[in-house]
C-alpha cells in the first residue's frame, strides 16, 4: 500500500504540540504517524504510561480526538468495549459514520501486564488497532526491565555489576505471539522508516478485525542515547537487523525493508549508555550472543517469507 503524501496533508492533526513528553521521545511520533493511517474519525484508548501521563496533565490535553485513559493493564479491553458499543449503536441506526478504534500501550503494559487483555481482545475478534510503542523498559515508573528489554541491557531491576551483566535473557517475541492468534494483520515498524510505518497503519485500519503494530520508540533517558539522535538511533537498530521491519498479513510473512549493507550490532550498542558495560572485556561475549540471535531471527523470517509467499 503506497503512501500518498497529498492525502496525508489533509488528515487533521490528532496529537497536538504542547505535551510534556521528554525531548527526543519517540512515542509522540509513533502516535502521529499511526493516526495518519486513516481519514475516518478515531477513538483512542491509552494505557497508563509515558504517552498517557505526559499528554494529559490536568487540566490540559494534547489529544484532538476522543480519548480514554485505561488502567496500565487493560487498554485493549477498553478499546474492545468501546468498539462493541459502537457496533451495537450502528446496528440500531443511531450512528451512521465509520469510526476507527485505536489502543496504545507501552511495552510494559503490552508485553507483560497487559498481555492477557490484548490476547483476549484479539481472540474475540474486535475490530480495532493495537499499537505497542516499544521503548524496551518500564520507562514511566523508573526504567525497570520489561519483557521487551534487550539482553545485556542495564536497568534499575537488572543493574549491570558483579552479580549480573544487565538483563540475562533475550526479550520475548511479542509480534510472533500476536501473529499466533491468526489475526488479519500484525507488523513491526520504526519511526525512522516513516513511509513503511504509515503504510502499515493504513493496512491495519483497513482490515476487518484486530490488527497489531509493534513500533520501536526510542527513550533517551532510559536507553541513554543522545536526545538529538532519536531517529538516527532507531535507523541504526533497523539497519543492524536488531528490529526487523516485517508484516504478517493473513498468515503471509513479508520483510518490508532489507538493509543494503547491514551493520554489525556493536555499532548500535555503542550508541547507548545502557550497554556501556558490554565494552568491558569480560562482557564482550554478550555482544556476540546478541549478534548470533539477530542473525538467527532474520534467517527465520526469510524462511517464513519463502514458505508463506
The whole-angstrom separation of Cα 281 and Cα 10 is 54
Average pLDDT, the chain: 96
CA distances from 204 to 37, 50, 71, 107 (A): 8, 23, 24, 19
The predicted model gives 161-182 an average pLDDT of: 97
Tens-place pLDDT, residues 266-299: 999 999 999 999 999 999 999 999 999 999 999 9
C-alpha cell belonging to residue 293: 540471535
What are the structural domain ranges in the chain?
Answer: 5-308
Closest CA to 207 of 126, 274, 268, 142: 126
Which strands sit side by side in the sheet containing 211-216, from one edge to the other? 67-69, 42-46, 100-106, 129-134, 211-216, 185-190, 246-249, 252-255
The predicted model gives 73-96 an average pLDDT of: 97
* DSSP, res 279: G
Q: What pLDDT is recorded for position 1?
A: 64
The whole-angstrom separation of Cα 263 and Cα 151 is 19
pLDDT at 235 exceeding the cut of 80: yes
| CATH match for 5-308 among 3.40.50.970, 3.40.50.300, 3.30.70.520, 2.130.10.10 | 3.40.50.970
Query: Phi first, then psi: what are they for 235, rounded to 5°?
Result: -65, -40
| Burial of 77 from C-beta contacts in 10 A (0-12 / 13-18 / 19+) | buried
Closest CA to 105 of 91, 116, 94, 93: 116
pLDDT band at 7 (very low <50, low <70, confident <90, very high): confident
Q: What pLDDT is recorded for position 5?
A: 80
Amino acid at each position: 500500500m503506497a503512501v500518498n503524501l497529498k492525502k496525508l496533508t489533509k488528515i487533521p492533526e490528532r496529537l497536538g504540540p504542547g505535551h510534556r513528553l521528554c525531548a527526543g521521545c519517540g512515542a509522540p511520533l509513533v502516535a502521529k504517524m499511526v493516526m495518519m493511517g486513516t481519514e475516518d474519525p478515531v477513538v483512542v484508548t491509552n494505557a497508563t504510561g509515558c504517552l498517557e501521563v505526559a499528554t494529559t496533565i490536568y487540566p490540559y490535553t494534547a489529544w484532538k480526538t476522543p480519548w480514554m485513559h485505561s488502567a496500565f493493564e487493560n487498554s485493549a479491553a477498553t478499546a474492545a468495549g468501546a468498539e462493541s458499543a459502537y457496533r451495537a449503536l450502528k446496528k440500531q441506526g443511531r450512528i451512521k459514520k465509520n469510526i476507527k478504534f485505536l489502543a496504545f500501550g507501552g511495552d510494559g503494559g503490552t508485553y507483560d501486564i497487559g498481555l492477557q487483555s490484548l490476547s483476549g481482545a484479539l481472540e474475540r475478534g474486535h475490530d480495532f488497532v493495537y499499537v505497542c510503542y516499544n521503548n524496551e523498559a518500564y520507562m514511566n515508573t523508573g526504567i525497570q526491565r520489561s519483557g521487551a528489554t534487550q539482553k545485556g541491557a542495564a536497568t534499575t531491576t537488572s543493574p549491570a555489576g558483579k552479580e549480573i551483566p544487565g538483563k540475562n535473557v533475550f526479550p520475548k517475541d511479542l509480534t510472533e505471539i500476536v501473529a499466533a492468534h491468526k489475526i488479519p494483520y500484525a507488523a513491526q515498524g520504526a519511526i525512522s522508516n516513516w513511509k513503511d510505518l504509515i503504510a502499515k497503519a493504513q493496512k491495519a485500519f483497513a482490515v476487518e478485525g484486530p490488527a497489531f503494530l509493534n513500533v520501536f520508540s526510542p527513550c533517551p533517558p532510559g536507553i541513554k542515547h543522545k536526545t538529538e539522535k532519536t531517529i538516527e538511533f532507531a535507523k541504526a537498530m533497523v539497519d543492524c537487523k536488531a528490529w526487523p521491519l516485517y508484516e504478517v498479513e493473513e498468515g503471509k510473512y513479508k520483510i518490508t525493508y532489507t538493509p543494503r549493507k547491514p551493520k554489525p550490532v556493536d555499532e548500535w550498542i555503542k550508541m547507548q549508555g545502557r550497554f556501556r558495560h558490554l565494552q568491558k572485556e569480560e562482557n564482550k561475549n554478550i555482544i556476540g550472543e546478541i549478534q548470533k540471535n539477530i542473525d538467527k531471527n532474520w534467517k527465520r523470517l526469510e524462511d517464513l517469507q519463502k514458505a508463506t509467499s
